[in-house]
């Protein structure tokens, strides 16, 4: 049941206390409460966004950042981006970021999962071992699209509805044609979710029947009335405190719940485990506030270090990206839709009446992942930071209109094509550190985009790849020419300047509580996601990723959560 205040809770102890009911937290709340003998409390900082139209209609997703469903974080000035600050979007409310993300559905490459198995020393994270969890999550509903996907690469009875684009755009055949014309690194790939995230393909998304499928709609809402599940909203976990000590280790099985900066809070206990699923910024913040983190940084705020784990909040990785715009010869891009309120209202009405039309998709239908060319000397200079040959170094997303991404707003006139270009194997590390001891104050989230030479060189390379792709003759009747400062970014140095001026990110942060082998001196969690040096405390969300996927991140979060459920059920002998 949904609960709005800690005072409405009828118990002070539950078997499991889940902190953050976002993407991973919704999976855990749903799966752990499958066993009726188990009691579960899931605590979410935000509320329910079930009725917010833009969280349901896929095309409107781009309007969600900066609204009440967003945490609205801000970064400090980022040196690599000419000391600009960026807004950093994270989902606030049930379903977390799965409710406002841009829906792209990527499983991660074969090498990504095998690398995680090797880094953690646990073959359970390998591509083969994770296949059952992918099948538990994926419910691919575009079965009639023969030739456009690999039927063997999908699940058909998982929880999240997934599909190919439902509203074809004029760009789709042009992207296919340019890919066929250029071949090589740009060649067509039937289905990235087969395991090789390289080449050009149709985008698959977490959409079914023209609506977003989120962790909230797929996992949480269908079970929210279970008698053994309390979902407490509008409440933050301010910190964890030591519960009774088990087997000589420090047991963090009590959580302090708070509804405002002045609220002293109430304490709730977990008989079995506290599971942190507060996301890549919330999880390290709670750990640090609880005295689990780098001694050198938390003691500055007067917090006593209970477990000295220097990697908490470190190794923040995200995909830097920049938008390159082209003016196009067309009246069909979504530019006219955004400028014409009658057309917009009619398109919305069509979606509301029949779940059809342009609003059934996010604004992109096709994209490409690329590796640096084999002959490039980048490998000799920097090595290969990607997971391996099934993973890319860069990505380009094709958007059929002017997508506002970064500081440029949609011009008053003209039709556009946006190429969102970025690095998917960045080597730059950022961090999340506390500013104050209050959970209601934002921590410092410093992604430090393009600080490394590899990331700078790769941003330049992907913009060259954009030009190569757009020089294919397939575009000759469609493209008028590059728009704005991108037209003048004709050298490597000017391209880097362009990135510094307009670069942003694609909202895929991971890694702030990395898993590692239990005995390793690095990392925050062991391979079963338990916080090192503690008992009864686990982390399950994007912060556990030991490396950044060279693809979009939500499906791996769902898969990690599904495996975590099995680990937890096995440990506590649950059904």
Ligand X SMILES: Cc1cc2nc3c(=O)[nH]c(=O)nc-3n(C[C@H](O)[C@H](O)[C@H](O)COP(=O)(O)OP(=O)(O)OC[C@H]3O[C@@H](n4cnc5c(N)ncnc54)[C@H](O)[C@@H]3O)c2cc1C
Nearest approach, Cβ of residue 574 and ligand X (Å): 21
Among 278, 378, 403, 423, binds ligand X (CB under 6 A): 278
Nearest approach, Cβ of residue 181 and ligand X (Å): 28
Indicate whether 320 belongs to the interface with ligand X (CB under 6 A): no
Q: Which is nearer to ligand X, 197 or 475 (CB)?
A: 197
Q: Which is nearer to ligand X, 359 or 475 (CB)?
A: 359
> Do residues 339 and 534 lie in contact, with contact meaning Cβ atoms separated by under 8 Å?
no
Tokens representing residue 526 in the block: 């062991």
Nearest approach, Cβ of residue 4 and ligand X (Å): 14
- Compute the Cα dihedral for 267, 268, 272, 275 and give only its sign: negative
Among 554, 562, 564, 568, binds ligand X (CB under 6 A): 554
Indicate whether 23 belongs to the interface with ligand X (CB under 6 A): yes
Q: β-pairing, 479-482 with 444-446?
A: unpaired
Rounded CA-CA distance 141/159 in Å is 11
Q: How many residues lie near ligand X (CB under 6 A)?
A: 43
Q: Which is nearer to ligand X, 3 or 19 (CB)?
A: 19
Nearest approach, Cβ of residue 278 and ligand X (Å): 4
Indicate whether 363 belongs to the interface with ligand X (CB under 6 A): no
Indicate whether 508 belongs to the interface with ligand X (CB under 6 A): yes
Q: Which of 67, 108, 74 is nearest to 91 (CA)?
A: 67
- CA–chain centroid gap for 198, Å, is 19
**What residues form the annotated binding site for FAD?**
237
Q: Which is nearer to ligand X, 461 or 554 (CB)?
A: 554
Nearest approach, Cβ of residue 296 and ligand X (Å): 23
Strands of 465-530 (E only): list them.
479-482, 504-505
Cβ neighbours of residue 63 closer than 8 Å, sequence gap 6 or more: 54
> Do residues 121 and 48 lie in contact, with contact meaning Cβ atoms separated by under 8 Å?
no
As a whole number of Å, the CA-based R_g of the chain is 23
Indicate whether 213 belongs to the interface with ligand X (CB under 6 A): no
Among 6, 14, 17, 22, binds ligand X (CB under 6 A): 22
Nearest residue to ligand X, by Cβ distance, number only: 22
Among residues 154, 382, 552, 572, the one annotated as catalytic is 552
Rounded CA-CA distance 567/251 in Å is 19
Q: Which is nearer to ligand X, 380 or 409 (CB)?
A: 409
Indicate whether 165 belongs to the interface with ligand X (CB under 6 A): no
Judged on CB neighbours under 10 Å (0-12, 13-18, 19+), 549 is: buried
Active site residue 508: yes
Q: Which is nearer to ligand X, 527 or 560 (CB)?
A: 560
> Do residues 286 and 538 lie in contact, with contact meaning Cβ atoms separated by under 8 Å?
no
Cβ count within 10 A of residue 536: 26
Rounded CA-CA distance 296/40 in Å is 35
Strands of 176-265 (E only): list them.
199-202, 207-208, 211-212, 229-232, 236-241, 250-251, 254-258
Subset of residues 96 to 135 that bind ligand X, contact rule: CB under 6 A: 96-98, 100-104, 106
Among 65, 87, 310, 517, binds ligand X (CB under 6 A): 65
Q: Which is nearer to ligand X, 18 or 38 (CB)?
A: 18
Give the distance between the most distant pair of CA atoms in the chain: 72
Nearest approach, Cβ of residue 176 and ligand X (Å): 21
Question: What angle (nearest 5°) sits at the alpha carbon of residue 295, between those of residues 289 and 296?
Answer: 115
Rounded CA-CA distance 532/526 in Å is 6
Nearest approach, Cβ of residue 104 and ligand X (Å): 3
Tokens representing residue 379 in the block: 């490998």
Indicate whether 541 belongs to the interface with ligand X (CB under 6 A): yes
Q: Which residues are catalytic?
A: 508, 552
Interface residues with ligand X (CB under 6 A) are 19-25, 43-46, 65, 89-92, 96-98, 100-104, 106, 236-237, 277-280, 282, 286, 439, 507-508, 541-542, 552-555, 557
């Amino acid at each position: 049941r949904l609960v709005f205040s800690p005072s409405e809770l009828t118990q002070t102890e539950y078997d499991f206390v889940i902190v953050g009911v976002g993407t991973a937290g919704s999976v855990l709340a749903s799966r752990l409460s499958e066993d009726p003998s188990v009691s579960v409390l899931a605590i979410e900082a935000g509320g329910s966004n079930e009725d917010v139209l833009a969280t349901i209609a896929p095309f409107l997703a781009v309007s969600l950042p900066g609204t009440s469903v967003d945490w609205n974080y801000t970064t400090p000035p980022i040196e690599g981006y000419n000391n600009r600050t960026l807004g950093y979007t994270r989902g606030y409310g049930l379903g977390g970021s799965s409710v406002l993300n841009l829906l792209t559905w990527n499983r991660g490459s074969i090498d990504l999962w095998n690398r995680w198995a090797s880094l953690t020393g646990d073959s359970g994270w390998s591509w083969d071992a994770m296949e059952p969890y992918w099948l538990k999550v994926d419910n691919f509903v575009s079965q009639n699209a023969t030739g456009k996907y690999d039927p063997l690469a999908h699940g058909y009875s998982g929880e999240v509805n997934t599909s190919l684009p439902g509203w074809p755009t004029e760009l789709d055949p042009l992207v296919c044609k340019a890919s066929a014309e250029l071949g090589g690194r740009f060649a067509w790939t039937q289905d990235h979710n087969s395991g090789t995230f390289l080449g050009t393909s149709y985008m698959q998304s977490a959409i079914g029947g023209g609506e977003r499928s989120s962790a909230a709609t797929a996992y949480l809402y269908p079970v929210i009335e279970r008698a053994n599940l309390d979902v407490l909203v509008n409440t933050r976990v301010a910190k964890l405190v030591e519960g009774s000590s088990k087997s000589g280790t420090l047991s963090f099985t009590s959580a302090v719940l708070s509804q405002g900066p002045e609220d002293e809070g109430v304490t709730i206990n977990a008989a079995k485990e506290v599971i942190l699923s507060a996301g890549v910024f919330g999880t390290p913040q709670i750990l640090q506030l609880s005295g689990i983190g780098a001694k050198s940084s938390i003691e500055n705020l007067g917090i006593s270090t209970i477990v000295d784990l220097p990697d908490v909040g470190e190794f923040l990785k995200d995909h830097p990206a920049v938008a390159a715009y082209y003016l196009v010869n067309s009246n069909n891009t979504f530019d006219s839709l955004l400028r014409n309120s009658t057309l917009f209202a009619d398109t919305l009405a069509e979606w509301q009446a029949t779940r059809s039309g342009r609003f059934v998709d996010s604004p992109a239908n096709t994209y490409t992942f690329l590796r640096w060319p084999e002959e490039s000397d980048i490998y000799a200079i920097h090595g290969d930071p990607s997971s391996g040959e099934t993973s890319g170094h860069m990505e380009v997303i094709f958007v059929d209109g002017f997508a506002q991404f970064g500081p440029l707003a949609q011009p008053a006139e003209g039709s556009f094509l946006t190429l969102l270009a970025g690095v998917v194997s960045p080597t730059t590390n950022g961090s999340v550190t506390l500013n104050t001891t209050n959970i209601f104050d934002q921590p410092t989230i410093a992604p430090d985009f393009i600080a490394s030479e590899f990331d700078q060189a790769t941003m330049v390379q992907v913009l060259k790849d954009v030009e190569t792709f757009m020089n294919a003759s397939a575009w000759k009747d469609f493209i008028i020419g590059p728009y704005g400062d991108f037209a003048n970014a004709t050298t490597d140095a000017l391209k880097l300047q362009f990135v510094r001026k307009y670069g942003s990110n694609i909202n895929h942060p991971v890694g702030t509580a990395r898993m590692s082998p239990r005995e390793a001196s690095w990392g925050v969690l062991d391979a079963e996601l338990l916080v090192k040096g503690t008992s009864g405390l686990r982390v399950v969300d994007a912060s556990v990723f030991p490396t950044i996927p060279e693809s979009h991140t939500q499906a791996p979060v769902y898969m990690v959560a599904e495996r975590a459920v099995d680990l937890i059920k096995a440990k506590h002998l649950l059904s």
